[in-house]
Homo-oligomer: A and B are copies of this chain.
Amino acid sequence: MPQMTIGRLARAAGVHVETIRYYQRLGLLESPARPPGGVRRYAARAVSRVRFIKRAQELGFSLAEIGRLMRLEDPHNCGTARSLASEKLALVESRIADLARLRGALTELIGRCNRRRGMQACPIIETLAGGQ
A-side residues, CB < 8 A to B, are: 48, 51-52, 55-56, 58-60, 69, 72-73, 75, 77-78, 81-82, 85-86, 88-89, 92-93, 95-96, 99-100, 102-103, 105-107, 109-110, 113-114, 116, 119-125, 127-130
Contacts and interface: CB of A to CB of B under 8 A. Distances in A.
A69 B114 CA distance: 17
Contacts of A93: 103
A92 B81 contact: no
B107 A89 contact: yes
Q: How many copies does the complex hold?
A: 2
A75 B130 contact: no
Contact of A130 (B52, B86, B88): B52
